[in-house]
Chain A
Amino acid sequence: MIFNDFNPLEDKTFRIIDNEGKVIDKARMPELDQETILNAYKSMLFARTADQMAVSYQRQGRMYTYPPILGQEAIQVAAGMIIREQDWLVPAFREMALMLAKGVSLKEIFLYYLGNEEGSNFAKANHVLPICVPIGSQYLHATGIGYSVKYQQKDEVVFPFIGDGGTSEGDFSEALNFAAVWEAPVVFTIQNNQYAISVPVKSQTRSINLAVKAVGFGMPGIKVDGNDFFAMYVAYKEALEHARAGKGPVLIEAYTYRKGAHTTSDDPSKYRTREEEKSWEKTDPLARLKKYMDSQGIVLENEEELIQSYKEEVDKQFLEAENFRPYDLEDVFNYMYVEMPDDLKRQKANYEQYLSWKEKRK
């Protein structure tokens, strides 16, 4: 089992292909047919296209803010292939590609960033929680769901995500501790993209890596090259098996790089150098997988046309989000409680009176 083979205390990193796409760990290379690999690449390409377009919609003033996933596609596409429909996805807020894989629509994601709560009301992704902005707090919900599915004897595994910065929150440690004590079926992922807005990992922790934090809580942990699609795939596959076998939680550190800004409101040039950004360029997850595919004769035909068709699809979904029905006063009130208290009804009625006064003044 890879969790035994890559001891985070020795700062080992699980990796299958190198930056040139060459297989360096043949024994652990997963048996995937060419079509599956091609589809994985396509999913990464679609996510990257959608991500870049999301940033440009924001730049055009059509969307308020957006946290890019650029550079983190391999982790999410690999996880998306392993996480089954009945499993639970508990995202932070930089998991767009994974949310797509689990049935959330781009339209819904866009609608959220267009400032409408309906964007968290996923039509086809019942076991996907909404994104979680209060850093790290979602990890505890995942542990709770882990207890719940175990109690209900369901064949469901929980997959929470967090960033490197989130590991400093108390909720992170508490969630790991509870999950370990309860032997809950939870596969924790840290997307270590090296930055919490402007703060680098070295200012976040003095641990030799983030996977090692698992050790103190008594669960397996592994540091994986997050830009290596195959390594991520294998890590998730084994993690799922571990959790399904009733062996409790595991922690995966997906070591990657946030190539974009924290959100569209952020300017990374304030706190990191072009040289550093360039040095990560060679690890790009799409480029690496492409090099592997080239070496194996797996051909992606008409890539330019494919990207064009992706752009059209993304644009279609964005327009659907933009043309979503106008936000109504009802939308502010209707979901605050299952049963609306009288006091809220009064406030709403008062506001309607004001609106009719405003209408008359025109």
Chain B
Amino acid sequence: MVQAINNAFDIKLAEDKTVVMFGEDVGVEGGVFRVTEGLQKKYGVQRVFDTPIAESAIVGTGLGMAMSGLRPVVELQFDGFTYPAFNQIISNVSRMHNRTRGRFKAPMVIRFPYGGAINAIEHHSESPEALYAHIPGIKVVVPSTPYDAKGLMISAIETDDPVIFMEPKRIYRAIKQEVPEEKFSIPIGKAKVLKEGTDVTVIAFGALIRECQKAIVMAEEAGISVELIDLRTIYPIDRETIVNSIKKTGRVVIVAEASESFSVGSELMAIANEEAFLSLEAPPKRVMGFDTIVPLAQGEPYYMVFPDRIFYEIEKTAKY
């Protein structure tokens, strides 16, 4: 996935002079995860550069650039380090288009690695998608494969609205997949049915798609037919795909890593109730993190969502 995202940047930097890229350690080092490796060398320090450590400044100056003719792609180094920029995102980036009745746009991508299960120290394992999806005016995208990462990133850079692009660091290098060299894009706002099934709908995104796929193997062995939906975009959410599937299966299990209360899981349950109520044959179920801080490495196995816990809830929901 690291290569696929890097390739998307390469394509956009080459074809669009207004694209600039910056953040902490993104230039000389090429990012702590090497996502921007080689780009400064190829496109120069005017276009790919290191900044002082100040997340609020990275996003705030990015907005200034976005309002004046550039398309910045800014990196915040980790999920847990995005919050100093929260003020800029919620108070300015998300509102500029609306406040000025369209006189200014904010075509920028704010990208960061997210998620746990990599034995990291504090503030390096969080899944803040709900915090950002809750902000009106922001699009939130999370890829689950290298192919999707490239196609979605190209769309994100080309979108005139601000996009939060969350990269599942746990699978940065875990999935090997052939990704076409040439430019292609995947539309923001469209979910994908990864597997069709008839008994239970499982909805997930990002790193947990893989965990769901393992759980589904267990479920199918137990005679349960599962339909798997990869959200790809958290907001704007693809109601149509979600509702069609739930209407078909009558059962839904939502899988994500963040704390479950007031989460993307909560939103999906609301959609199930609003639009597929009469089709439901079991209460919608969330398999998510606790309402706790992500524990440090020794406690992470309790918090993280693994395949057997997903299977456990799929089976209960199927039998309800």
* A residues in contact (CB < 8 Å) with B: 64-65, 112-117, 133-137, 165-166, 168-171, 196-199, 203-205, 265-266, 270-271, 327, 329, 331-333, 336, 341, 343-344, 347-348, 351, 354, 357-358, 361
Residues in B neighbouring A196, C-beta threshold 8 A: 24, 52-53
What residues of B have a CB within 8 angstroms of the CB of A115 in the complex? 119, 121, 296-300
Tell me whether A168 and B295 are in contact (CB under 8 A). Answer: no
Taking a contact as CB atoms under 8 Å apart, the answer to whether A64 and B120 are in contact is yes
- Since A168-B54, A170-B84 are in contact, a sample of 5 more A-B pairs with Cβ atoms closer than 8 Å, ordered by chain A residue number, is A116-B299, A198-B50, A270-B29, A332-B303, A344-B290
A-B contact pairs, 20 of them (CB 8 A): A64-B119, A64-B120, A65-B119, A112-B296, A114-B297, A115-B296, A166-B53, A169-B54, A169-B84, A196-B24, A196-B52, A198-B25, A199-B28, A199-B52, A204-B52, A205-B52, A266-B32, A343-B261, A357-B312, A358-B312
Q: Is the CB of A336 within 8 A of B292?
A: yes
Chain B, Cβ-Cβ closest to A201: B52
Shortest CB distance A176–B (Å): 15
CB closest residue in chain B, given A93: B121
Contact B295 A332 (CB under 8 A): yes
Please, which residues of chain B bring their CB within 8 A of the CB of A333? 290, 292
CB closest residue in chain A, given B287: A354
Residues of A within 8 A of B80 (CB): 133-134
**CB–CB B24/A65 < 8 A:** no
| In the complex, residue of chain A having the shortest beta-carbon distance to the beta carbon of B316 | A357
Q: Report chain B residues within 8 Å CB of A343.
A: 261, 291
- Interface size for B (C-beta < 8 A) is 40
> How far does the alpha carbon of A109 sit from the alpha carbon of B50 in the complex, in Å?
31
Minimum distance in angstroms from B25 CB to a CB of chain A: 5
A332→B29 contact, CB < 8 A = no
Contact A351 B53, beta carbon cutoff 8 Å: no
Does B260 make an interface contact (CB < 8 A)?
Answer: yes
Smallest CB–CB gap between B262 and chain A, Å?
11
Asked whether, in the complex, the Cβ of B53 is within 8 Å of the Cβ of A113, the reply is: no
Contact B29 A271 (CB under 8 A): yes
- CB contacts under 8 Å to A, within B275-320, are 290-293, 295-300, 302-303, 308-309, 312
The CA-CA distance from A266 to B29 in the complex, in Å, is 10
Q: Which residues of B contact A336 (CB under 8 A)?
A: 291-293
- The residue of chain B having its C-beta at the shortest distance from the C-beta of A204 within the complex is B52
A135 touching B81, Cβ below 8 Å: yes
Q: Determine the distance from Cα of A358 to Cα of B307 in the docked complex, in whole angstroms.
A: 12
Is B53 touching A169 in the complex (CB atoms < 8 A)? yes
Q: How far is the CA of A204 from the CA of B290 in the complex (A)?
A: 38
The interface residues of chain A lying within 8 Å CB-to-CB of B309 are: 354
Cβ-defined contact, A347 with B260, below 8 A: yes
Q: Select one of B30, B52, B292, B299 contacting A168, CB under 8 A.
A: B52
Is there a chain A Cβ closer than 8 Å to B266's Cβ?
no
B121 touching A65, Cβ below 8 Å: yes
Determine the chain A residues whose CB is within 8 A of the CB of B290 once the complex forms. 332-333, 344, 347-348, 351
- Tell me the smallest distance from the CB of A191 to a CB of chain B, in Å: 14
A203-B52 in contact (CB<8A): yes
Q: Are B28 and A351 in contact (CB under 8 A)?
A: no
Residues of A within 8 A of B52 (CB): 165, 168, 196, 199, 203-205
Does B104 interact with chain A (Cβ within 8 Å)? no
Question: For the complex, what is the distance from the CA of A154 to the CA of B211, rounded to whole Å?
Answer: 54
Q: Which 9 A-B pairs have the closest CB atoms?
A: A115-B297, A168-B52, A198-B29, A327-B298, A115-B296, A165-B53, A115-B298, A168-B54, A64-B119
Q: Which residues from 102 to 142 on chain B have a C-beta closer than 8 Å to any C-beta of chain A?
A: 119-124
B255 to chain A, nearest CB (A): 14
A113 to B121, CA, bound (A): 7
A332 to chain B: which residues have CB within 8 Å? 290, 292, 295, 299, 302-303
Closest to A116 in B: B298
Q: Which residues of A contact B119 (CB under 8 A)?
A: 64-65, 115
B213 partner residues in chain A, CB cutoff 8 A: none
Nearest CB in chain B: distance from A112 CB, A: 8
- The answer to the question of B3 belonging to the interface, with a C-beta cut-off of 8 Å to chain A, is no
B56 within 8 A of A: yes
Interface residues as binary, B241-279 with A (CB distance below 8 Å gives 1, 0 otherwise): 000000000000000000011000000000000000000
Given contacts A169-B54, A347-B291, contact A133 B122 (CB under 8 A): yes
Report B-chain residues with C-beta under 8 Å of the C-beta of A133: 80, 121-124
Tell me which residues across on chain B come within 8 A of A351, comparing CB atoms.
290, 302
Given contacts A170-B84, A336-B292, contact A198 B28 (CB under 8 A): yes
Question: Which A residues touch B296, using CB under 8 A?
Answer: 112, 115-117
CB distance from A294 to the nearest CB of B (A): 40
Query: In whole angstroms, how far apart are the Cα atoms of A153 and B170 in the complex?
Result: 50
In the complex, how many angstroms separate the beta carbon of A249 from the nearest chain B beta carbon? 22
Whole-angstrom distance between the Cβ of B253 and the nearest chain A Cβ? 13
Q: Which residues of A contact B32 (CB under 8 A)?
A: 197, 265-266
Query: Chain A's nearest CB lies how many Å from the CB of B210?
Result: 20
**List of B residues within 8 angstroms of A361 by Cβ:** 308
B261 touches A203 (CB 8 A): no
Cα distance A112–B298 in the bound complex, in angstroms: 10
Q: Determine how close the nearest CB of chain B comes to the CB of A175; give it in whole angstroms.
A: 14
Q: Which of B3-32 contact A (CB under 8 A)?
A: 24-25, 28-30, 32
Complex Cα gap A199–B31 (Å): 11
Minimal beta-carbon separation of A132 from chain B (angstroms): 9
Set B28, B291, B292, B299: member contacting A327, Cβ < 8 A: B299
Bound-state CA distance A359–B298 (Å) is: 20
Q: Are B299 and A344 in contact (CB under 8 A)?
A: no
Inter-subunit contact B56/A170 (CB<8 Å): yes
**A331 and B295 contact, CB distance less than 8 A:** yes
Closest to B301 in A: A327
| Nearest opposing residue in chain A for B261, CB measure | A343
CB distance from A51 to the nearest CB of B (A): 17
Interfacial residues of chain B within 74-90, with CB under 8 A of chain A in the complex? 80-81, 83-84
Complex interface: chain B residues within 8 A of A113 (CB): 121
A339 smallest CB distance to B (angstroms) = 14
